[in-house]
Amino acid sequence: MRFLITLLMALCPAAFAAAAGLEVPVIYLKQQEQQPPTLSNLDPPPADLGETGARLGLADNRTTGSFLGHSYSLEAVAVPPGGDFAAAARAALTRSALLILDAPKPALLAAAALPEAQEALLFNAASPDTGLRSGDCRRNLLHTLPSDLMRSDALMQFALSRRWTGLALIAGKHAQDQAFAGALRQSAAKFGLEITAERTWDYGADMRRNAAQEVPLMSQGLGRHDLLLVADELQDFARYLPYNTWLPRPVAGSEGLVPAAWAPVVEQWGAAQLQSRFQELAGRKMLARDYAAWAAVRSIGEAVTRTGSADAGVLRSYLLSDAFELAGFKGRPLSYRSWNGQLRQPIPLATPRALAAQAPLPGFLHQHSELDTLGLDAPESRCGAFQ
């Protein structure tokens, strides 16, 4: 047998790798949530949001694996609204130490706290909560979705580069809206911009009929500003703001010019190929959370390919090392921040039909990586779990 293996190795390294075999099971664990109603029914979030991104990552990994004898699989598990996410995570951890989590912050923290999860490798592909990258970080939890603060920093770099220094903000009442609004305020202060007026969106009227009447009146009270920011993360009302404001002003944030991990209009840097592969697989456009799940699965694949191991500890060390780089179709290599496990990445600033810019914008400099001008840099993060 040994002779045979040696012979195989000599004849064909690929064949030997295939004989060696390496199983890499990954589990995609989703907490289903009851979404509050929105004014428009035009484009509800796709039911397979995120999960299909993971499936595309699996397909990419499998192709590489086929040449190396690495066998990847992906199992999707959904926890119904109100279900026990931690219990589902515990069950999943008996089958794999590599989990992609699509869940809000409390569920992520519950999963990360499980004794069974301590040596596992978990990826947050859904929560933009900035605290998870700071004081609430966990050693076993990496983040592929950009934080709220990375997105708001991207937008403020753009506003500053256009000299749009006076800002107004309209924010929804949901926790996600308020979190993003908080990030916008923090970023505005960071880049020396001023939010001169704020309103909370608190109207019961049906804006599909009344936007033209309500929005001018409301925005009249905002006074002079260059750019109208909107925090409406559940896509409830913001779509009715553009062209209905008292002053003719561009809208940005959750609507208009949107900073996000990904958008269907990203086409440079080979992105057109990723978009078309996704479209073929899903029958729809690729969105930010699809991208985050794809990046998590591809990170695992890249680390397995380079280390030849499927051990969560080995993969974690490699992912957090300088050696790791992921080709993420955004023009420069992606890597993980060693201080909080956040995937370092450019942030596209997209309108519905085109990419306006991609942050970091030229001129925003950093001593190590310009990508670290977005979100919590090492001195700002209060995460201690990664030291």
Partner 1 sequence: MTHAAKSLAALALSALLAPAAPLVAAEIWVTNEKDDTISVIDIATLEVVRTIATGERPRGITFSKDFSRVYVCASDSDTVQVLDAATGKILHDLPSGEDPEQFVLHPNDRHLYIANEDDAVTTVVDTETRKVVAQINVGIEPEGMAVSPDGRIAITTSETTNMAHWIDTQTQQLFANTLVDARPRHAEFTAGGSALWVSSEIGGTITVFDTATQAETGKITFDVKGVHPDRVQPVGFAFTEDEQTAFVALGPSNHVAVVNTQTLEVEDYILVGRRVWHMAFSPDKSLLFTTNGVSGDVTVIDTAKRQALKSIKVGRFPWGAALRP
Q: Which stretch binds partner 1 (CB under 8 A): 146-154, 160-168, 186-194, 365-373?
A: 365-373
Residue 13 or 44: the one with the smaller Cβ distance to partner 1 is 13
Asked if 325 touches partner 1 (CB under 8 A), the answer is yes
Residue 300 contacts residue 61 (beta carbons within 8 Å): yes
Listed residue (53, 118, 72, 29) closest to 284, CA to CA: 53
- The residue from 369, 380, 385, 386 that contacts partner 1 (CB under 8 A) is 369
Residues 192-251 touching partner 1, rule: CB under 8 A, are none
Q: Minimal distance in Å, beta carbon 62 to partner 1?
A: 10
Core vs surface per residue 225-258: b (16+ CB within 10 A) or e: bbbbbbbbbbbbbbbbbbebbeeebbbbbbbbbb
Q: Minimal distance in Å, beta carbon 12 to partner 1?
A: 7
Residue 135 or 270: the one with the smaller Cβ distance to partner 1 is 270
Residues 298-317 touching partner 1, rule: CB under 8 A, are 302, 305-306
Q: Minimal distance in Å, beta carbon 63 to partner 1?
A: 5
Number of residues that bind partner 1 (CB under 8 A): 24
Q: What is the residue type of 56?
A: L
For the record, the structure tokens of 202 come out as: 């608190």
CA separation for the pair 164, 285 (Å, rounded): 31
- The residue from 23, 35, 36, 67 that contacts partner 1 (CB under 8 A) is 67
Query: In this structure, is the dihedral angle defined by the CA atoms of residues 263, 265, 267 and 268, taken in order, positive or negative?
Result: negative
Asked if 370 touches partner 1 (CB under 8 A), the answer is yes
**In a 3-state reduction of DSSP, which class is residue 351?**
coil
- The residue from 91, 186, 331, 351 that contacts partner 1 (CB under 8 A) is 331
CA separation for the pair 248, 351 (Å, rounded): 17
Identify how many contiguous H helices and E strands the chain contains and give both numbers.
Answer: 11, 14
Longest alpha-carbon distance in the chain: 83
Residue 156 or 371: the one with the smaller Cβ distance to partner 1 is 371
- The residue from 273, 283, 382, 384 that contacts partner 1 (CB under 8 A) is 273
Asked if 290 touches partner 1 (CB under 8 A), the answer is no
Asked if 270 touches partner 1 (CB under 8 A), the answer is yes
Q: Which stretch binds partner 1 (CB under 8 A): 47-55, 58-66, 97-105, 151-159?
A: 58-66
CA separation for the pair 317, 334 (Å, rounded): 16
Residue 295 contacts residue 54 (beta carbons within 8 Å): no
Asked if 285 touches partner 1 (CB under 8 A), the answer is no
CA separation for the pair 238, 234 (Å, rounded): 9
Q: Which stretch binds partner 1 (CB under 8 A): 7-15, 239-247, 282-290, 310-318?
A: 7-15
Q: How many CB atoms lie within 10 A of CB 34?
A: 7
How is the beta sheet containing 258-259 ordered, strand by strand?
Answer: 258-259, 347-350, 355-359
Q: Minimal distance in Å, beta carbon 326 to partner 1?
A: 7
Asked if 276 touches partner 1 (CB under 8 A), the answer is yes
**In a 3-state reduction of DSSP, which class is residue 145?**
coil
Asked if 63 touches partner 1 (CB under 8 A), the answer is yes
Q: Which stretch binds partner 1 (CB under 8 A): 47-55, 166-174, 247-255, 273-281?
A: 273-281
Instruction: Mention every residue, 6+ apart, whose C-beta is less than 8 A from residue 90.
Output: 114, 116
Asked if 14 touches partner 1 (CB under 8 A), the answer is yes
Residues engaged in binding partner 1 (CB under 8 A): 12-14, 60, 63-64, 67-68, 270, 273, 276-277, 302, 305-306, 325-327, 331-333, 369-371
